[in-house]
Structure 1
Amino acid sequence: MNFIKKANILQILVLIVMISSCSKEKKITVLSDAQLPKNMLPTMKPLTNESPQLTTAYISETRGRIDSFYRKNWPNNSMNGSFLVAKNGQIIYEKYEGLANFRTKDSITSETPLHIASVSKVLTATAILKLVNAKRLDLDQKVTTILKEFPYPEVTIRNLLSHRSGMRSYSYFTDRDPNVWDRHKTLTNQDLLTIMGTKNIGLEQKTGTRFAYCNTNYAMLALVIEKITKMPYKKAMNTIIFKPLGMKNTFVFDIEKDKKTIVPSYKGNRVEIGIDYLDGVYGDKNIYSTPRDLLKFDRARNATDFLEPKLLAQVYTGYSNEHKGTKNYGLGIRMVNWDTGQNFYFHNGWWHGNTSSYIPLMKEKVTIIALSNKFTKQTYAVRKLSKLFGDYPFNFGDE
């Protein structure tokens, strides 16, 4: 009997430990960005198992209309790139056509990373916004408080994100005067900062007075990321965005390590465009990715815990209203704001022969992505597909 009693007592103790263990597991909470210890970086969180699941009938009908658009926009499979349309994170249509390399005849596949050009700005802005959300940065913080060499005292993080800093484009002031930069040498982000701080590179216009799309803004934001995270931009982007989201075919181009292995770009006539002295600058460009990886990124940006609501609202606010019009720019995102109240958000890119288009239809939970490494403006025409999913005044072309 004593043995049985002892056995029962032992079982009860084990059960108590198990219940205690389970209750402890339930009490585990996920920290918000702002609650993270200062030695931890905020990271993007995947958005999975979105609902509702698309019906077979819906997918079939929508896929047919997208395919009709694809064949009209890129006749005879002339795209030479990657194209994807998804809703609720579920891929409705994707196409991979043409060659990644015309010399080796390697085909473009779903795992072929292409240069996403200025769509890189959306990812750079996202890393900055996560750092703001974590209270490591403030949108209205002066850049001079972070980058000591920065020569423009009124420019803030918000000015950089919204292209209202007034700075000049680095591709112009480094190209025209050999006393400013020797084009035989690869230009870096730090070189840019030093040049602006020592070569008397004046502003194009007074800070905050008007919108002027300028790659220099995002080259400086990349340096801000490095300063705040104490990591190279490439590692910081891996830590905050790529690895947490499983973006296995996405990377920041390293001109020294990757120039012989990346997918080259081409003019429309298939003449290869080589690497030049500007290809060492990142933040504004130089991210390689795939539509499937960018879909993961887009859905994470739509997760409820991506940013605090007040900060998120500022991302999709237009900051350039000095002239009446529909086109505007938020914090790392382009937009069209119609008088009807309908808004369209997107970002395009163009670098060498690479063109890109990223379209998040947030209300409809739709993602449209097109990338090409052979120059064509047809990449940008994918915005017309928005009309399939919502009240967007674009001519779809099959009506």
Structure 2
Amino acid sequence: MTKPPALFVILLIVLLACQPKKETVTTKTTADKIDSVMQAIPNFSGVVLFAENGNIEYLKPFGVRSFETNVPIQPTDIFELASVSKQFTAMTIMMLKEEGKLNYDDPIEKFLPGLPYQNITIRHLLTHTSGLPDYQAVMDEHWDKSKVANNKDILEYLIQYHPPINFAPGEKYEYSNTGYVFLGSITEAASGQDFVEFCTERIFSPLQMTSTAIRSNEEKLGLSNLAYGHIFVPEKNRFVRADSFPSSNYTMWLGGRKGPGRVSSTAEDLLKWDQALYSDQLVSQETLAEAFTPQTLNDGTKSNYGFGWTIIPDSPAGKVVWHNGDNPGYKTIIVRYIAQGKTLIMLCNNYHSQFEAIREAVDGMLAVELEEAQ
């Protein structure tokens, strides 16, 4: 199964985006250009949404919900978001900070006593600058995989086995799922409420994100509109359910963790979330401004990460904040082109090799449009 290289897609979109502006009836909209890119990529399975100022300009499903049944994907299908979930975890912390229940520079031991790691603050966790070791390596080595581990189990194993810290807090950026497990537990400690309940009652329900939840493995399997993650197996020349591979088992035995992942949602629900971030509905714009600001490291340099978001302050398409997710069989991303009020959401359930190239193509076309508008 051959797939076009990323360069092919980029060249295609450059040709599309650079058509003369003097065209009238035949001038292609951004949605037209995105659709041309998608039509040029074979075997993509998922949903793509593009919006401007909250208005959906493009929403289209591709492929199938399950390669075993060949049921076509619908725009309302639910996908596992993987690390796109982290922005919701960061929001719980921002809410609690506004309520005076914590501060970003509080030491983590204030809420999680007994941990063997010193001088780490909540801010370090939010910005992936804590230096914490990978909890999954410890759990993979020592955990009984016939059981489902939760945050309490993860914390206890880190205390028991005490893997060393990777670097001094604040020294550098290093992506850390462990940090977001800690944040999930800090939310529970500071609020006195279960993390899943907090997210549901304080974020998903107020925004009417009716298809969004932090679901158990059993709850996800009970959904009639779940888009199952798949991986292409060359030996079989077909896509196979990702959860049938032993290497994917960690999503089952770590199925109780809260904070770094586990949110499942739809493209349109994510647009509701995106639009709420332009308002004061959840937290103030002042709080969000700090979340969308690159953080300063110990040596005075800036990282490219805020609170649950990767930040590009001055991209050719203007200020952009985004986050992607990567789970067995799934690739997901939400890109907020803040300077233009535009949003790209892509949810993929067959781990497509050209996923990143699609985003790069949209970046390119919006950069051209921004330049033409100036």
Do both proteins adopt the same fold according to a TM-score greater than 0.5, normalized to the shorter chain?
yes
Counterpart contact for 1:162–1:332, Cα < 8 Å: yes
Measured in 1, the distance between the counterparts of 2:139 and 2:293 equals 33
Measured in 2, the distance between the counterparts of 1:213 and 1:158 equals 14
Q: Are 1:268 and 2:260 an aligned pair?
A: no
Q: Mind listing any 5+ residue stretches in structure 2 that lack a counterpart?
A: 1-24, 234-238, 244-248
Q: Mind listing any 5+ residue stretches in structure 1 that lack a counterpart?
A: 1-56, 395-399
- Structure 2: which amino acid aligns with 1:346? W
Measure how far apart 1:203 and its partner are. 1.0
Q: Counterpart in 2 of 1:97?
A: 62
Counterpart contact for 1:355–1:377, Cα < 8 Å: no
SS of 1:137's partner is: coil
Q: TM-score, normalised by structure 2?
A: 0.81
Measured in 1, the distance between the counterparts of 2:274 and 2:260 equals 18
Q: Counterpart in 1 of 2:295?
A: 319
Counterpart contact for 1:221–1:283, Cα < 8 Å: yes
Measure how far apart 1:104 and its partner are. 3.3
Q: Counterpart in 1 of 2:193?
A: 231
SS of 2:333's partner is: strand
Aligned length: 333
- Structure 2: which amino acid aligns with 1:166? G
- Structure 1: which amino acid aligns with 2:242? I
Candidates 190, 213, 216, aligned match of 2:175? 213
Measured in 2, the distance between the counterparts of 1:166 and 1:283 equals 17
Aligned-pair Cα RMSD in Å: 2.9
Measure how far apart 1:391 and its partner are. 5.9
Q: Counterpart in 2 of 1:389?
A: 366
Deviations 1:33-74 (A, max 9, x none): xxxxxxxxxxxxxxxxxxxxxxxx8997222122112222x2
Counterpart contact for 2:229–2:328, Cα < 8 Å: yes
Q: Counterpart in 1 of 2:11?
A: none
Q: Counterpart in 2 of 1:106?
A: 71
Counterpart contact for 1:326–1:337, Cα < 8 Å: no
SS of 1:329's partner is: coil
Q: Counterpart in 1 of 2:29?
A: 61
Deviations 1:279-308 (A, max 9, x none): 332311111111100000000011145534
SS of 1:375's partner is: coil
Higher gyration radius (CA): 1
Q: Counterpart in 1 of 2:342?
A: 366
Q: Counterpart in 2 of 1:397?
A: none
Measure how far apart 1:339 and its partner are. 8.6
Counterpart contact for 2:317–2:337, Cα < 8 Å: no
Q: Counterpart in 1 of 2:162?
A: 200
The one of the two structures with greater contact order (alpha-carbon pairs below 8 A, sep at least 6) is 2
Deviations 1:127-166 (A, max 9, x none): 2212212222211111111122333231111111100111
Change (3 A) 1:195 1:103: same
Change (3 A) 1:223 1:79: same
Percent identical: 27
Q: Counterpart in 2 of 1:174?
A: 139
